[in-house]
Amino acid sequence: MNKDTSEASARTIFVVAVVAAVLVSAILAPVAYDAAQSAQSEGTVSVITVSGIITGSTVDGVSEDLREARTNESIRAVVLKVDSGGGLVAPSERLYLEVLRTSEQMPVVASVQGIGASGAYYGMLPADEIYVLSSSEVGSVGVIGPGGSTPVPDSIIRTGPDKAQPTAEDRRRAIESLKRQFVGRVVEHRGEELSVSREEVAYAKTYLGPEAASNGYADGVGALPTAIDRAAEMAGIENYDVARQEPPFRGGFFLLTAENNNKTMVYKQGPGIDTPVPVTQPLLVDEIPDHDPELSTDDSEVTRNASA
């Protein structure tokens, strides 16, 4: 092996080693920090993020984080970091049930960042307290869904006249039933704090943070640290760690460079790519479309498509 080849190989190994070191440090740094703090800690407050559209995959991740909080003896309280305008009805119901189950075992406090509305507000209702920013938008207690019916083509055979073709009235009744359930849960969990009537709740209005804190949709105006401190106080701990659970990153590439035979090569790695592969043509911004199978366009079932 000649000198140039050896130097090129050494540079390649060095680049890979640096990238590996950065990745390892990014993963281990929070763990090391928590370990260093745990000597004086009485427990941990777990901050769990609920962001974006509420879909099945969104709730799967949040449910796993909440399950970890319930089963980890060091976690004494949970803070939900919410920034979502809602989503599908069934996942929103699942989120509600997971938060309810967790709140029965430990204090749960919600902290609304930009928006906590519709299905996201539904999901955080079991929290012991809800904090908002002055700019936060909260509320939108209601459900929307398709109202008409689509004729079934002759090529489709049905076993009954209502199979796969609910009427507009059927859809209206289903949506109305979901709305009553949503409003009922708001009154159940926030009734003592609410200064608005049940009918006003059903109007599905969205409120800015200060008004939400005033009318009982929220408990106070405060940033995430306020919610964390309050959760720790409710858990009875003064010295505590904070563990932040963020949703997995979706989309995008991780780009690497290496030198080989006096040439600089660019490699990419990302969703669906197990190992780095050479980049042989310009990358497109939309090379990987952000598709979520939970967002179905099939309107055959009201509860599947209704959004909260």
Per-residue confidence (pLDDT) for residue 300, from 0 to 100: 35
Query: What domain range includes position 9?
Result: 1-37+251-289
| Residues 110-134, mean pLDDT to the nearest whole number | 96
In 3D space, the residue among 64, 66, 28, 25 whose CA is nearest the CA of residue 46 turns out to be 66
Residue 251 pLDDT exceeds 70? no
| Residues 110-133, mean pLDDT to the nearest whole number | 96
Domain holding 157: CATH number? 3.90.226.10
Q: φ, ψ for residue 102 (rounded to 5)?
A: -70, -40
**Do residues 194 and 259 share a domain?**
no
| Confidence bin at 136 (pLDDT 50/70/90) | very high
Per-residue confidence (pLDDT) for residue 79, from 0 to 100: 97
Per-residue confidence (pLDDT) for residue 273, from 0 to 100: 52
Q: Residues 171-225: pLDDT tens digits?
A: 788 888 888 899 999 999 999 999 999 999 998 899 999 999 999 999 999 999 9
**Do residues 117 and 212 share a domain?**
yes
User: Which residue type does 39 have?
Assistant: A
**Do residues 192 and 82 share a domain?**
yes
| Confidence bin at 24 (pLDDT 50/70/90) | very low
154 part of a folded domain: yes
230 part of a folded domain: yes
Residue 252 pLDDT exceeds 80? no
Per-residue confidence (pLDDT) for residue 258, from 0 to 100: 57
For residue 57, what are its two tokens?
């995959």
Who contacts 193 (Cβ-Cβ below 8 Å, separation ≥6)? 216, 219
Sign of CA pseudo-dihedral 54, 92, 77, 218: positive
| Residues 153-157, mean pLDDT to the nearest whole number | 68
280 part of a folded domain: yes
Per-residue confidence (pLDDT) for residue 279, from 0 to 100: 58
Per-residue confidence (pLDDT) for residue 27, from 0 to 100: 42
**Do residues 20 and 49 share a domain?**
no
Per-chain mean pLDDT for the chain: 76
**Do residues 112 and 26 share a domain?**
no
> Would the pTM of this model clear 0.85, i.e. be above it?
no
**Do residues 264 and 205 share a domain?**
no
**Do residues 200 and 264 share a domain?**
no
100 part of a folded domain: yes
303 part of a folded domain: no
Residue 84 pLDDT exceeds 80? yes
**Do residues 24 and 110 share a domain?**
no
Residue 141 pLDDT exceeds 50? yes
Per the structure, the count of domains in the chain is: 2
| Confidence bin at 263 (pLDDT 50/70/90) | low
Residue 137 pLDDT exceeds 90? yes
299 part of a folded domain: no
Per-residue confidence (pLDDT) for residue 13, from 0 to 100: 42
**Do residues 93 and 231 share a domain?**
yes
Per-residue confidence (pLDDT) for residue 175, from 0 to 100: 86
Q: What distance in Å separates the CA atoms of residue 292 and residue 304, rounded to the nearest whole number? A: 14
**Do residues 258 and 244 share a domain?**
no
| Residues 155-169, mean pLDDT to the nearest whole number | 70
| Residues 134-140, mean pLDDT to the nearest whole number | 94
298 part of a folded domain: no
DSSP string, the chain: --HHHHHHHHHHHHHHHHHHHHHHHHHHHHHHHHHHHTTT-S-EEEEEEEESSB-HHHHHHHHHHHHHHHH-TTEEEEEEEEEE--BBHHHHHHHHHHHHHHHTTS-EEEEEEEEEETHHHHHHTTSSEEEE-TT-EEE----B---S-PPPPTTS--SSTTTT---HHHHHHHHHHHHHHHHHHHHHHHTTT--S-HHHHHTT-EEEHHHHHHHTSSSEE--HHHHHHHHHHHHT-SS-EEEEEPPPP-S--EEEEEEETTEEEEEEE-TT-SS-EE--SPPPTTSS----TTS----S-HHHH-B-
Boundary of a domain, candidates 202, 221, 250? 250
**Do residues 158 and 201 share a domain?**
yes
| Residues 56-69, mean pLDDT to the nearest whole number | 94
**Do residues 202 and 149 share a domain?**
yes
112 part of a folded domain: yes
Longest dimension (CA), the chain: 83
